[in-house]
Amino acid sequence: MSQKAAAAAKKLSKTQISAKKPPAKKAKTDAIVVPKTVVELINTKEGKQVPFLALCKVLEFIEATTKRLEITALTRDLLLQVMQVGQQQLTPTVMLCINKVAPDHEGIELGIGESILMKAIASATGRQIAKVKQDRQELGDLGMVVQQGKTNQRTMFKPQPLSISKVFNSFKEIALTSGSSSIQKKTGLITGLLAACSDIEAKYLIRSLEGRLRIGLAESTVQVALAQAALIYERGDKGEPEAEEFQQASENLKQVLSEFPIYANVIESIYEHGISDVANHCMLTPTLPVKPMLAKIEKAADDILRRFEGKPFTCEYKYDGERSQIHYVRKDDGSEECVIFSRNAENNTGKYPDIARSVKEFAKPSVTSFILDCEAVAWDLVTGKIRSFQTLSSRKKKVADESEITVGVCCFAFDLLFLNDEPLIRMPLRKRRELMREHFSAVPNKFQFAISKDLTEVEDIQGFLEQSITDNCEGLMIKSLDGDSSSYEPSKRSMNWLKLKKDYVDGLGDSLDLVVIGAYYGKGKRVGAYGSFLLACYDPDREEYQSICNIGTGFSDAALESHKAQLDLNKIESPKPYYTVSDKTKPDIWFEPIQVWEVKAADLSLSSVYQAAYGEVNADKGVSLRFPRFIRVRDDKSPEMATSSTQIAEMYENQKINH
């Protein structure tokens, strides 16, 4: 064991295990909240296996509390214990905590269907599938169903305990299994894992395979916990970190992971260089997606001038397309690689092979590597004009041959994040923009620079906004040009970027992206179709979808028919346990949380029946939308990227201020 690990272990051995919160000012290492029974399960000798049961017991304690500090402390202290065993155990532990088997951009997901899980549960617990379905209806949670089954099950022989590594590797094998007999193979692998599980292990194993732990352990919390554990580990016996040091370590790690999203490499770097120096070893790298910077909402041009008072800023067209991050690298052997990522790190190179092929046309010969932030927009190759977002949505997600492409696309570049082996995100926007225009060239019908103007007068901003609408854009993006406030901030929704749309002046500030979780049968001329739909926002901390409105306007008859056909593919018998819905708004049909819709509304109001942001702006009420109207389907967004409950609360508070 290393000296650092030994020092940390020595502190833990003297610890009185408790469930107290860590002190506010001092982040004391002796405020361990992981139960003693869990500590004793983990052999901290290097190279030993960490039992899956240890993780599950901590998850059980996390599920029993809603206190964020307590959840962070529980996770931190588990990771600190595992950290002493070594990187080979820490990486799978972290990945299981965030319920992933690979980085997002690799496209390897669990999300195993209920039918496979039910078969495995029936086989592992000796019950009929009909009984498993019945229990699922009663308990509302397959994890609880299998836990109950394992509790009542007697076995002649005690199986070999599961390790975290075994579970993680099995999950990856399950996720990668494909082909004609994949269902049988997946069912067999899951059944084998369940046979070796205790009741509590079975509960969290099944929930993980479903794709959601539903215990309130957000990925951002795991990142904070990992940073804290790494700082304590790095300090050894040199004293307790201050709260400010914990805060700095957490911010550093979040920044690193937003630029270099591979936990295994980042954890390896933490072991080799320490948490304080990891940012110098895991940096922005072409072919690894950067979490995009996002904008806040602004409702009026004069408010923008107040916001940027005394600071230079620029106004850019806000294009109505798909956020696209183009990565390119020319390697030493002369080979080239181009990858295009969506805003949620999905590899879209197969969707846009025409963009990838045209890189050599718009990148000058001096360019050997780059990362461009762009908007891919549907483009009329004859008229040279922007087409609608709906047109872009009709493009296939993967094009086998470019001859199949029926929807032309033009990329509008607005930022340069990396150029010729140098990260640029800390540079001012003005400099990044100069470098972009110096090293890249506009190519008709393929690649353009976002139209922009550096303005200072309200009338000029308003006029430019009107011009953007005339040119088939959504509005304007307003960005700080110089100084620290103009750096590129991956993953952050910053006040240094504001979005201004024409709709903002008269209605609710921004449109919302909401998840369809249910539908109501139609009446009158809509008999036989769905008349309206139940929509929800997403709470990432609680991992739940919270009802926000019933929407029935903005649809043509043809659209209603199309939506019904698509949504019926994802019908479920009962609501998910992570749906927060009042009995008064219970729909006739429930859906899996798959489809995201963009919605506009007149304003937000407090509601006693809808659950969005419940308790955040009013102790006894949630928030709902008044006069919601359907705009379009957002195929480019995952359900977890829907408007969050926190954003709903912020929009409601901003509305009160502006009114």
Is the C-alpha dihedral spanning 339, 344, 350, 354 positive or negative? negative
Residues 6+ apart with CB under 8 A from 199: 147, 148, 150, 151
CA distance 283 to 266: 10
- Whether 318 is a known active-site residue: answer yes
CA distance 429 to 195: 57
From residue 186, how far is each of 15, 57, 197 by CA, in Å?
Answer: 42, 26, 17
**By C-alpha distance, which of 637, 554, 547, 647 is closest to 601?**
554
Give me 646's structure tokens: 């926190």
Instruction: Establish how many alpha carbons lie within 13 A of residue 361's alpha carbon, considering only the half-sphere containing its beta carbon.
Output: 13
C-alpha torsion 93→97→98→104, nearest 10: 20
Report the 3 state secondary structure along 107-171. CCCCCCCHHHHHHHHHHHHCCCHHHHHHHHHHHCCHHHHHHHHHHCCCCCCCCCCCEHHHHHHHH
**By C-alpha distance, which of 269, 267, 231, 265 is closest to 247?**
231
Report the 3 state secondary structure along 576-589. CCCEECCHHHCCCE
From residue 146, how far is each of 143, 214, 255 by CA, in Å?
Answer: 5, 16, 39
Q: Which of 318, 351, 499, 637 is catalytic?
A: 318
Please, what is the Cα angle at 639 between 407 and 488, to 5 degrees? 75
Residues marked active site are found at 318
